[in-house]
Amino acid sequence: MKKTTKIFVFAGMLITATVSAQVGIGTTTPSSSSILELESTSKGLRLPRMTTAQRTAIASPVSALQVFDTTTNSIWIYNGTTWTEVGAGGATSNIYTADGQLTAARVVNQNNNSLTFQTGTAKTVVDGNFQTTGLLYAKAPRVHPIAASITWQADDVVILLQSTHSGNIVFPSASANPNRLVGINNRSGSARLITDVTGGDTGVYANEAVSQIASGSGVSWWISDGISWRLYSGRP
């Protein structure tokens, strides 16, 4: 009896849809721009559920066909040419679990919001060209009056030695910072000697013949080869 009643109700909906070209479920006033409108605060729409093998076995799928794939736990839509995943579930591959490839140019509009990569001890690697059409910013120089008290931070780029600076310059560990580039701007009023780095590594490269940074010489850039520090650019 219940099944018969459901058939009559569904048939009535089809007749209504034929007359008004609109169907409302949970609402008696569907939007004039929708052919089908569902409204509920406690229930949702459940798509046909099938495995990947069953989905890909659908004969001649029509464009915009949608199903829920129980193998990938995600929603898939047929775009007229191929199946495309439009929703991701628990075990589905994504940018965090697998490599991917863009199929076209993409633009990220930050809308004046900062985009931060929290890498920890890891590095963000660009395997190819890197281009900026705007300004490129780096962390501002940190000011230190006494070199011996410097505790190098992972994101330090330039250390600025003030006029009150005294003592020698101590670099961070070379072996713990391979390929790292750091700069020293000496404004202390006199040349400053470079001593062994913290961590027990060899300081400046033995054949560099550089053991000090002159005052007022601008920024001297140094790079670690994983063993010691070498002068990269600038005047020592």
What is the rounded average pLDDT of the residues 108-136? 86
Q: What is the pLDDT of residues 17-65, one digit of tens each?
A: 444 568 889 999 988 898 999 999 999 999 999 999 999 999 999 999 9
The distance from CA 159 to its chain's CA centroid, rounded to whole angstroms, is 28
Q: Which of 46-60, 95-109, 174-188, 217-231 has the highest mean pLDDT?
A: 46-60
196 close to 168: Cβ distance less than 8 angstroms: no
Residues in the chain: 236
pLDDT at 122: 81
Q: What is the pLDDT of residues 63-81, one digit of tens each?
A: 999 999 999 888 999 999 9
What is the rounded average pLDDT of the residues 150-179? 81
**Better-predicted residue by pLDDT, 14 or 76:** 76
Domain ranges of the chain: 2-38, 49-85, 142-233
Q: What is the pLDDT of residues 128-151, one digit of tens each?
A: 898 888 887 777 888 877 766 677
pLDDT at 87: 57
* pLDDT higher than threshold 70 for residue 226: yes
**Better-predicted residue by pLDDT, 88 or 31:** 31
Q: Strand order in 142-146's β-sheet?
A: 142-146, 158-166, 181-186, 219-224, 229-233
* pLDDT higher than threshold 90 for residue 153: no
pLDDT at 3: 53
Q: What is the pLDDT of residues 182-218, one digit of tens each?
A: 888 888 888 887 775 555 455 565 545 556 788 876 7
pLDDT band at 90 (very low <50, low <70, confident <90, very high): very low
What is the rounded average pLDDT of the residues 111-135? 86
